[in-house]
Amino acid sequence: MKKINNKIFREYDIRGKYPEEVNAETFFVVGQAFARLLKKHSKKNTENALLKHPKTVAVSRDMRKESTELARAFVNGILSENLNVDYLGLTSSPLLFWTVSQHKYLGGAIITASHNVSGINGIKLCLPHVEPFDTQNLLQYTDETTVPKTRLRHLTGDYGVANPLNSISDYSMVIAKLQKKCYMAEYVEFVKSFFTSKQNVRVAIDAAWATASEEIPYIFNQTNVDFIPLCFGPTENFSDKDINPANKGALDDLIRTVKKFKTDIGIGFDGDADRIFFVDENGNIVDPEIISILIASTFLENNREKNKKIVLDSRAGWTSQEAITKLDGQIFISRSGHLNIKKEMLKQKAIFGAETSGHYFFNIGKKKQYIPSDNAMIAMIKILNIISASKLPFSKIIKKYKSYPKSGELNFKVSNPQKIIKKFIQHLPSCKSSSTFDGLSVEYDDWRINVRPSNTEDGVLRVNVEARTISTLKEKIKLVRTIVRS
């Protein structure tokens, strides 16, 4: 096989072009590497002795056409290292992580490229108790020898054997160490336990032809939520749909539906249902920082243990920081990315975490166990509870929180993101404060900026600008474009 392109190993997941960079052969090797890492981790951690499944990895996939093929290869890489696999089929990332935490698996993996366009695929991985780790650490466990031809035929479906589990369509051959499991019903009950709302709520939901459409009907069954579905599937042919709700125009259909049917709120998910965006009853997209404030308030106003620790990412601006501080919240800033947010939450034992990209993090552990994980379904229910409990429309609920003018995330395709960041350092004048903690963050009295390379897309520079006034914002966005193009 060809040498694996090391750039597919990102900080907190694996991501690359299919089939040039990620394919059955590379995923078999990645499966082996992950199994080796898990076994070494297990030897070092005595807590693993308490796992319910100490030699089993939970694996699932998203709706992409090639995800089934990649799942086969990845699973067989794990099996070749004498670890077992419980295969969950098509799930969201939050369901996979919840399964690993609640059923105490040795580790977990979902074949997904999240919000990326068709033609990109990857894997999100976790250790026991959904412990995050730097995926680049897998490189030391890779063995790039040729995958046996018999195993390749096995993966591509050239032959199979009769067995009791041959109804599992994702596999042409099932090995004894492989089982199919389904935790959907149990997961739905867990998510529904966050409902406190009593009044009826009417919702429009855009599932992006993806994994959220598998869960939503069960979550809203026998509740007071009446929902209008958009792009429910899931389907492997989503090339005409932008599955990143943060992108301009991605929520246009949702906005039209909210206005047409006069719903109380609109909700949009990304490809693996770990990110969520909201639209008010007038069709206006709600700033994710406002959503962070609303959810944080449900903890800060009703926290008997007096824990007021909230983790925000480095892009969080004056909007959320000022409001959460007024609620007596204790803010801790993390680098962007779910890996980093979870690490900081673990360090601080925070009650809630949020990213401006639409990720919201909660403790999903049982009883005294602390396990931070992002979960868009819990975030959705938290917001629906707030709407249901109030007599005001959503736009009025959020009006009391001051939202400073901001650019949203500006994405620039560049050949060398780090080189452009150096340009920003050279061009920006002396300031109130600056940091290279996560890319480059610079703050002035009347505006602030964060510039950083994308962790999930090659050659993409992400820029976020916030200002005290709209005129200042426009001026600084113009400055940003000038610096990038210079």
pLDDT band at 305 (very low <50, low <70, confident <90, very high): low
- The residues facing 453 across adjacent strands are 461
Lowest mean pLDDT of 108-112, 300-304, 444-448, 469-473, name the range. Answer: 300-304
Residue 319 lies in a domain: no
Q: Domain of 82: which CATH number?
A: 3.40.120.10
pLDDT band at 308 (very low <50, low <70, confident <90, very high): very high
Last residue of a domain, one of 129, 149, 182: 182
Query: Over the chain, what is the mean pLDDT?
Result: 90
Determine the 3-state secondary structure of 355 from DSSP: coil
pLDDT given for residue 456 in this prediction: 77
Residues 28-78 pLDDT 10s: 999 999 999 999 999 888 777 789 999 999 999 999 999 999 999 999 999
pLDDT given for residue 150 in this prediction: 41
pLDDT given for residue 173 in this prediction: 38
pLDDT given for residue 166 in this prediction: 32
pLDDT value at 158 more than 70:
no
Q: What is the mean pLDDT of residues 316-324?
A: 95
Q: Which among 289, 348, 355, 356 has a CA at the least distance from the CA of 324?
A: 289
pLDDT given for residue 86 in this prediction: 95
Last residue of a domain, one of 182, 212, 227: 182
pLDDT value at 223 more than 90:
yes
Residue 68 lies in a domain: yes
Q: What is the mean pLDDT of residues 206-233?
A: 96
Q: What is the mean pLDDT of residues 264-291?
A: 97
Q: What is the DSSP letter of 9?
A: B
Residue 174: what residue type?
V
Residues 6+ apart with CB under 8 A from 338: 12, 132, 274, 355, 359, 361, 374
Domain count, the chain: 2
Domain that holds residue 17: 6-182
Q: Domain of 446: which CATH number?
A: 3.30.310.50
Last residue of a domain, one of 134, 163, 182: 182
Residue 290 lies in a domain: no
Residue 201 lies in a domain: no
* Higher pLDDT among residues 148 and 297, named by residue: 297
pLDDT given for residue 353 in this prediction: 98
Residue 296 lies in a domain: no
Q: What is the mean pLDDT of residues 154-171?
A: 33
Residues 378-397 pLDDT 10s: 999 999 999 999 989 999 99
pLDDT value at 357 more than 90:
yes
Which residue blocks in 210-353 are alpha helix, DSSP H? 212-220, 252-261, 288-300, 318-326, 338-348
DSSP code string of 142-158: ---SPPPHHHHHHHHTS
